[in-house]
């Protein structure tokens, strides 16, 4: 059964909904499905704006599947090209149409990397952000170490990445991780109006304006490649594998454990 649904309205606004109960975990299958859809939307002439959201208001995307990460090969040579997750996120960042993430609940790890790769992020007051990877003995390996410093600055990026703690929506807005915080009763109307306005403008001008902003960010390829290599190098580390196993044993990837992700991350080495 598909975990991703797509609707495109008569304005050309494509709404992508992730629906993978109970916590919208980014399994390998969900990633492959989302990556294929992202690539298709990037070149679809009938799509003018892409909105990414969740069917579950409690979770946007929890994070990438830690059990799957434990199964990644540990003796593979360093990557010779950007991994698929990086390519998907770069497609969201660089496609010639705006991408908007709507975050109503918790988002962590790879889910937050997907959101940060979108051009704009809007969140409700209940949203909570977390990059738990370092506590698990790895690093944000899907663009996080490259995206965060550019969004929030070096010091705050390191607080988020090294602290592995929950960041509330108000702080995320203040730091620049998200565009703005909206009430749960207002967010849909706000994003729909914004997406509709942009979709109604000349598509060539929208694409050119976004391309100009992307150029101003400078080339990220070398940094993303270095991040992917560093992530891969940690997969066979004994302490890393112990930390990921401890995370799962303490309730990671269950609704109960994920609701307290920041606290759980702090307990892993205990």
What is the tens place of the pLDDT at every residue in 58-67? Answer: 999 999 999 9
Q: Per-residue pLDDT averaged across 204-215, rounded?
A: 97
The predicted structure's pLDDT at residue 218: 78
Q: Encoding tokens for residue 186?
A: 């207002």
- The three-class DSSP label of residue 121 is strand
Residue 270 pLDDT > 70:
no
Distance CA 99, CA 92 (A): 6
Q: Is residue 194 part of a domain?
A: no
- The three-class DSSP label of residue 130 is strand
Q: Is residue 245 part of a domain?
A: yes
Q: Per-residue pLDDT averaged across 55-60, rounded?
A: 97
Domains identified in the chain, total number: 1
Q: Encoding tokens for residue 15?
A: 């709404």
**Residue span of the structural domain in which 108 resides:** 4-186+217-265
Q: Encoding tokens for residue 94?
A: 């660089």
Distance CA 250, CA 227 (A): 28
Q: Per-residue pLDDT averaged across 207-233, rounded?
A: 92
Q: Per-residue pLDDT averaged across 114-143, rounded?
A: 97
Q: Per-residue pLDDT averaged across 47-59, rounded?
A: 98
- What is the H or E stretch that residue 168 is in? strand 167-168
Burial class (CB in 10 A: 0-12, 13-18, 19+), 218: exposed
Residues 6+ apart with CB under 8 A from 55: 5, 17, 18, 19
Weakest-pLDDT range from 25-29, 76-80, 233-237, 243-247? 76-80
Q: How confident is the model at residue 50 (pLDDT cuts 50, 70, 90)?
A: very high
Q: Is residue 193 part of a domain?
A: no
CATH number, domain of 34, equals 3.90.226.10
What is the tens place of the pLDDT at every residue in 242-267? Answer: 999 999 999 999 999 999 999 999 99
Q: Is residue 250 part of a domain?
A: yes
């Amino acid at each position: 059964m598909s975990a991703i649904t797509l609707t495109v309205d008569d304005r050309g606004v494509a709404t992508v909904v992730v629906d993978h109960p109970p916590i919208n975990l980014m399994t390998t299958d969900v990633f492959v499905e989302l990556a294929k859809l992202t690539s298709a939307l990037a070149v679809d002439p009938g799509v003018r704006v892409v909105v990414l959201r969740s069917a579950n208001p409690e979770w946007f995307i929890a994070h990438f599947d830690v059990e799957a990460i434990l199964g990644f090969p540990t003796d593979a040579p360093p990557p010779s090209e950007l991994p698929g997750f990086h390519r998907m996120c770069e497609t969201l960042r660089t496609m010639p149409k705006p991408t908007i993430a709507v975050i109503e609940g918790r988002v962590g790890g790879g889910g937050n990397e997907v959101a940060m790769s979108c051009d704009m992020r809007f969140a409700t007051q209940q949203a909570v952000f977390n990059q738990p990877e370092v506590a698990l003995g790895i690093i944000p390996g899907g663009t996080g170490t490259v995206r965060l410093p550019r969004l929030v600055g070096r010091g705050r990026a390191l607080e988020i990445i090294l602290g592995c703690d929950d960041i509330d929506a108000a702080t995320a807005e203040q730091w620049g991780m998200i565009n703005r915080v909206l009430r749960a009763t207002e967010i849909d109307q706000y994003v729909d109006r914004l997406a509709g306005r942009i979709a109604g403008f000349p598509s060539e001008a929208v694409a050119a304006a976004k391309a100009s902003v992307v150029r101003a960010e400078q080339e990220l390829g070398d940094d993303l490649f270095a991040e992917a290599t560093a992530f891969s190098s940690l997969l066979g580390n004994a302490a890393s594998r112990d930390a990921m196993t401890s995370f799962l044993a303490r309730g990671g990837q269950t609704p109960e454990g994920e609701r307290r992700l920041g606290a759980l991350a702090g307990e892993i080495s205990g």
